[in-house]
Each structure stands twice: as structure tokens, then as C-alpha cells.
Amino acid sequence: MACILLYSRVAPSSYRHTRTCICIFSLSLSLSYICYCLLFSSDAIMQKPSDPTQNCLRLRSDGGKKLQQKSLYCTLPLNARGTRDISLHEANQSNASVNLNTVRNNTSDRPTPNNTGSGKFGNKKLPNAIIVGVKKGGTRAVLEFIRIHPDVRAVGTETHFFDRNYDRGLDWYRCLMPRTMESQITMEKTPSYFVTRETPRRISAMSRDTKLIVVVRDPVTRVISDYTQTLSKTPDLPSFQDLAFQNQSLGLVDTSWNAIRIGMYALHLENWLRYFPLSQIHFVNGERLITDPAGELARVQDFLGLKRIVTDKHFYFNRTKGFPCLKKPESSSSPRCLGKSKDILVCHGEFQEL
């Protein structure tokens, strides 16, 4: 435009008119060419030279192959496609791994069906708590009652590891345990532990943090129950009086008889206190376990650091047996009561099975 204005001042009018048209036409043609180049021929505007694959990759992510094929300018180099495909494969593998880990984590938090030996989740670990005694005190009842708690998993049978099978090693012992989650407590019960002299030291060597439960009852009641059970298996057993007394006329008790010796609780407790503080030993009252099972189980749950879930609603008193039983579980057609050989009690001078 400056050229046109300058020219109009110098050239004649008729001549100036012709030259002006030519100049405007040339200028318009030049501008059109520049716009054409910018719009259709230049990669500087349509695609960043520093990253020639970004638009193609963006198309793939936005619309897949169909969108890419419709594009007039997307020609993804082979190496870029390969890299992208590998990246996508790695991302898919990573996502699959994350999803699998998520499933595993969610599965590990899923509660294991309680008291089944075929649990598929969790790990086998050494027990956090052990019912160590005493025989005929009500240990089986305590185990059956506490193991309905969802955070307790227990071995159903007596392992006798610390008194009879210690030479088999801790790996063998751990193998007997049920699978438990991190938040669950592993337990076992072997009443003879309480009177076996080596047991406290051996349990302490395994873990000094192990919690111990001792179920005690009146020593006289306990020894009669012990004798009655043995008599049912050995009919030719000497009379109770012959075994219990050194001299009946003088009333001297024979403390060498094992059934009497088990009831000398203070004697055995002294050995346990050499390895464990009293705060790690909980005593269950065997008599109150019969009259108030929920109250005794509440104290057991407190000792184990568990929420009080086992309550009155789980028990009913079986008048035929004279003993509390667990109410019928949803998965069972009958209530859970102990067997005939458990907790035989003297009632009004007569033997009565509970």
C-alpha cells in the first residue's frame, strides 16, 4: 500500500490507474499463495516438528484406528507405532497386575469361615494364645465357646506339642495350626501343659508374648471328675478311696497320685511364673463357666484383646446335661453341646454326666 501511495504522487493519472490495478492484483496473488502455503503445505502449523507422532497417538487414544484412518495427515512411523504398542501392552499388563493385586487384597480381607480346617485364605502361624490347663477343668468348653468369635481360629484337637512332640520342631507345630488372617488370633488347647515341667520354658522360647489361659475348678470336684473318666475306660481301676488316701483312717492324702497332683494349682503355677508374668495368665473359673458362661467368656475376650461378641445370646442351659450349650448355628441343624465324656460333675453325692 505504501508503494501505491508513493506511486500515485509521481506517475500521471491514466498511467497510474493501470499500474495500480496490476499492483493490487500481484499483491492479492502473493497473499493468496502465502495463505495456501500456510494452510496446506507447512508442517510447522499443522504438526509440531519436535514430536511428529503426538497427533497420531492422540487420535488413537481418542477414537482408535477408525479415527486414525480418516485423518489425512496421520502417518505414524513404524518405530513410533511399535513403541506405542509396546507401551500399551505394558500398560495393560500393569493394569492386569494391579487388578489382580486388588482382588488378592480384597480377598485377604474377606473373613475366613470360622473353625474350618480347609480355609483357603490367610497363613498358618504359631499360636498367640494357648489354653494350657487344667484337665477336667472345662478347657474344652472354653475352646468351643471362644472359637465362635470371628477373630479366633483354633485347632480342634490337642496337639501335645510342648509335652510329647517337642522334638518334631516348630515348623511341624505351625503346620497343625489353622490359616488365619492378620487380625485373627490363633489358639490351641492341651490341658496337660499346665503340669508338664518343661512346657513353660518351651513356650517362652517360642514367644514370651504368648497369652496363657488356665481353667480351674474346685480341686476335689476336679479329681473326682478325673477319676470317673478314667474309670469309664479302665473298669478294673482301684477304688477312689484307695487311690486318693495314703491312710484313710488318718485322712492322709496321697499327693503322688497324678489326679491329686494336678489340682495342686499353686505348685504348678510357681513354675509358670518363672517364665511368664502373672498379667499374661488368665484364670477361668470352672464353676462360673457353668452358671454364667457369657460372663466368663466376656473376661476371656477382654484378656485376648477382642471385642465382646460372644454374649448371652449364644448360650442356653441344657437341663438334661446340666451344662450350658451353644445355640444352634445358622449352618447347623442342631445345637452344639459337649460330648458325654466332658465335665463329669458330682451332684448330691452322685456322678452326673454334663
Please answer whether residues 140 and 189 qualify as being in contact, where contact means their C-beta atoms are separated by less than 8 angstroms.
yes
How far is residue 278's CA from residue 252's CA, in Å, rounded to a whole number?
A: 32
Check the CA dihedral 242-243-244-250 and report its sign.
Answer: positive
251 is in an annotated binding site: no
Q: Give backbone dihedrals phi and psi of 264, rounded to 5 degrees, phi first.
A: -85, 70
Establish whether the linkage from the previous residue to 300 is cis, with ω within 30° of 0: no
| 136 is a catalytic site residue | yes
84 is in an annotated binding site: no
- What letter would DSSP give residue 231? H
169 Rama sector, left if φ>0, alpha if ψ -120 to 50, beta otherwise? left
139 is in an annotated binding site: yes
Alpha helices of the chain — where are they, by DSSP H? 2-10, 13-36, 43-46, 54-70, 78-108, 139-146, 170-175, 199-206, 219-233, 240-244, 258-262, 265-272, 286-291, 293-303
- What letter would DSSP give residue 191? G
138 is in an annotated binding site: yes
Spatial neighbors of 295 by CB under 8 A, at least 6 apart, are 288
Determine the 3-state secondary structure of 152 from DSSP: strand
How far is residue 11's CA from residue 29's CA, in Å, rounded to a whole number?
A: 24
137 is in an annotated binding site: yes
How far is residue 346's CA from residue 353's CA, in Å, rounded to a whole number?
A: 9
How far is residue 84's CA from residue 3's CA, in Å, rounded to a whole number?
A: 55
190 is in an annotated binding site: no
> Exposure of 199 by Cβ count < 10 A (0-12 exposed, 13-18 middle, 19+ buried)?
buried
Please answer whether residues 217 and 285 qualify as being in contact, where contact means their C-beta atoms are separated by less than 8 angstroms.
yes
64 is in an annotated binding site: no
Say which of 136, 189, 211, 342 is annotated catalytic: 136
Cell of 175: 503346620
Q: Give backbone dihedrals phi and psi of 285, rounded to 5 degrees, phi first.
A: -80, 115
> Which residues are known binding-site members?
136-140, 217, 225
> Which residues are known binding-site members for 3'-phosphoadenylyl sulfate?
136-140, 217, 225
Q: Which residues are catalytic?
A: 136
